[in-house]
Structure formats: structure tokens, C-alpha cells
Structure 1
């Protein structure tokens, strides 16, 4: 069983990733932490509560940073709706949060763990950057950081920058420069990780969980349901932990632009012309059919 902490900003595709991660017997989700990203921190935290309540999970939840490190915050509510999980009527949650800031709670959990923990970030990297800089001893107990973020093709916020990295590029650069094993899933791959209209319609018939996800997906604007399908960006990180051979990877040197009109852009030296150093394992391709079949299989388990 792989032990993980998921740092998240739910978000509709976050909710789908959490659905699979929380219910797969090969993963032990030690903690969820929230960060401002797709919507503001109040909404992302409430949404995480509602997902945990929906599946009746006792997974600890901690509230993290409400703002990026050094720049103004911009959300993605135009894609995810005002609350981040519009489309399904979740009951209000009375779940209690862990008492300390998410960064402190992550530090405590990681240092107390007998085995190394994998950190999965499916939102901006603010919490992760603070964790690694404030408590560098945790690096000895982190197996790997798995990131959904960045792009080595086109961006989804402007011509080059992906949303999670653009929200807090300084944090992203700090994490990538941490010296830890880093695996990154950017838009080169996640924009191909799609569910098509017929897949979304089939999900509706997969019991209570299928009904919930179908309701969220039909309110999600991360793609075009009628043509290319809906992009399941965040699920790629969970799929990698369980079925890594669905993807192809290349080790390379990558850095983040932090200033000016290119801020948030990730630049990968895929040809090795800039340096021989390699600081990330970058996902460069995906078996789309296997990914789609795997997602539907995982959801079907949860009837």
C-alpha cells in the first residue's frame, strides 16, 4: 500500500481524482490538505469536506494557504463554477479540520511516519513550497512529489502557462528545485486524458458515485464534451501511482518562469542542449484508451 498526502483545490477534476484515490485499496491517503486554486480557500476546503463526507472517510483534513507566495491570486471559477463543485447538491458538512495550518500538519504527519510518504499536488504548489522551506527535514521522509501542473506545449491560461503553475510560479520553482524526486504531469499529457460524451453518459448509471460525478462533469468546462471530451487532468497523478505504464516519461531539466508575461511557463530542456542536469521526470505521452478504460473501471467499482 502506497502512503500519500494529497494537496488539492477541489475543483471538479480534483473531486474525480479524490474519488478514485480515497477508494482504491492500494493507496492509503494519510491526509488531505487544501490550497487556494480553482476557487478560493474557503470553497476548496468545504469541497474537500463534502467529498470526504460523501464517501464516509475519516481521512484527516487540514486547511492551507489562501494566497500565493508573491503575487495576486486569480481563480478558475470560469471553468469550475463559483463554488468549484457546482452541479451536485452535497449536504453541508460539520466535519472538523485538523487544528494547525496544513503545512504544520503535513510536517507532523511526514516526520512521524515509519515509511516514506508520497506527496501528490493537484493544485498550486504554495503549501508544498512552504513545507519544504520551513521544514527541510521532511525531505528525508518524502518518497516522491507527483505534480499535476505545467505545460511544454500550449498553456490554458495564456499562450504558454498552465493554471496550477501560473497561480504561484515562485512556489513551483521552489518545489522543482528541492532536490527531491519530482514527477510532473503537464498539459502535453493531461489534455489527452479525456472522457468522451458516451463515457460521461455511462458514468451516470454507475450508482450513487456515478450520479455525483456525472452531475459535476456536466457542469465542468475543462474541455468540450461534444467534441474533444472533458480533460481529467488531476486523475493522471492517481493513475500514475497505480498504473504507471499507461504513461511514457522523459527525465529532463525543467524550470519555471516567475516574472513578466511568461510567468508560470514551464520550460523543459527535452533535447538536453542547455544542461546535462535532470531535475524532473516529465510525462510525455499517454495511452488514451487504457487511461479511459481504467478511469471507468475505477468508478464502476464504487456503485
Structure 2
């Protein structure tokens, strides 16, 4: 999959069928839009692609918001490549681009820059300055400028439309298994393993420590997890993780600390993917290391039992 970051690159004009959207989460609703584009691309014998924006527009317009992204760009690109796409247009979203009128976006970017043959988006897709462009405008301009337009139907689960905001709420409420049903896969936190205080190894539970960066903060507490190194052919390891401030040792910053069952080796500096499978309990302060160690042992046993059970169908 090629990644193209500017609409005026010569290589950008490939006549693709393009799914339009931010696609934060690449959840089941997003996948329906992308799969519709891929299906049309096959019928037209055209490349299949996605057009998205980096950073997420919300980061430009609401910079003071807490971290909210379900899928930083690295994860989003990998998920889309796994879907078999030919091209990913990741356009820089800045003040100048945000002021582009909707008609100009269609004429200069979609047609002049990319030479699209067909575009697909959800019913609520809006674009251009002040979100002035709608699916109705896109269909009108497509008819005039010679490209097709398809509106993908929303995907509903449990009587409600699948959305990134709904998934964020579930993760904030400590419901990763429910979030996974909407995503179509467990939600993952990724990051470099960084040195910590090395306390875990002294009490028999060494941990890999990961800072979350721009990623959404899930509910603080302890989770049963599955993890793998972001390396070809990496095995999946089961474990238990704490996301929080570590109040027993007077911690202040939020970290994800992951203890992998039966792992031995050095993880420092390596990129680890951690899937949250089940929420076990909230974080709390203990009366010393002995009480903390006993609780971690109990959490680890609980996580082993949960992860040994057959996985629920997502």
C-alpha cells in the first residue's frame, strides 16, 4: 500500500475508488465504507484507496481536549494495509486546508489531484470550510465532473449505530470487551517499552512500561491483556496490566504497566502492542508492597483464568 501525503503529487493521480473519512478506530462502520469502496474498485478494475486527514481535525480545532484518538496514524495505516488497499491518502490538516471551500476540495483535490473514479462515504460525511460540503453536494458535483458517488449505510449493533464516540465511552467506562464488539477486534495500546522504577522485578512481577502518547486514556485500573511485539511473526503473550498512576508507590503520571506471563527477555526500546481484553478492577492504594504483591498475584490468577476461556465471538 502506498501512502501519499499531498494531493498535488504526480503519483497521487491514480484514478482510484476512494473511501472518505477520518476513520478513527477503523471500526465496523468504517470497514463497511472501506469495503464498499474496495468492492466498487474491483468492479471497475481500479485501485482501492482511503482519503483521511492527519492530524485528526479535532486536534486542530480543539487542541485543549484530552487525548481522544482510538487509532494513531501508525495503527490506522497498518489496519488499512491489512484490508488490502492500494493507496492511503493522508492529507495534512492545517488551518489553510481547513479553509478550503467544499467546491474547491472536490474540484482541486478529488478530481484535479487524485483523479478519482468513484468516492464512498457515510451519510454524515461533511467536508470543506465550516463543514459546508455534504453527501448531496458531493453527488451533485460528481455528476457534473464525471465521478461516481456512493453513500454507505450505517452499521448498527444492539440497536445503535457504531461510532467512534460510542467506542470511546465504552473504553472510558471499563468495558473493553463491548468496545471490541464494535471495533471487530480488541482495542490495542501501542508504544515503546521504556525504563521504569524496576520495582516489579523485585516483587516477582516484572513489567513493560508504556506511555500512551496521543492515544485515548481508557478507564484506570487492572486488565487482562494479550500482547505482542510489533515485529513480523511475533507470538501473542497473555498477561495482566495496570493502567494508572501507581498510588501505592506515590506515582503521579499515567502509565500502562504490563506483566507478561511466562515471558523472559529484554523488552526495552521495543514496540509492544497490548490488547485490552477484560477489565478486572479499579486502581487503589495498598498498605505497603506486601499487600500490593498479594493483590497482583490474585489479579494475575484471575487474568489467566479469563484468558484461558474460549474467546467470545466478536
> Quick check: TM above 0.5?
no
Question: TM-score per shorter chain, which class?
Answer: under 0.3
What TM-score do you get using the length of structure 2 for normalisation? Answer: 0.27
What TM-score do you get using the length of structure 1 for normalisation? Answer: 0.28
Please identify the structure whose Cα radius of gyration is greater.
2
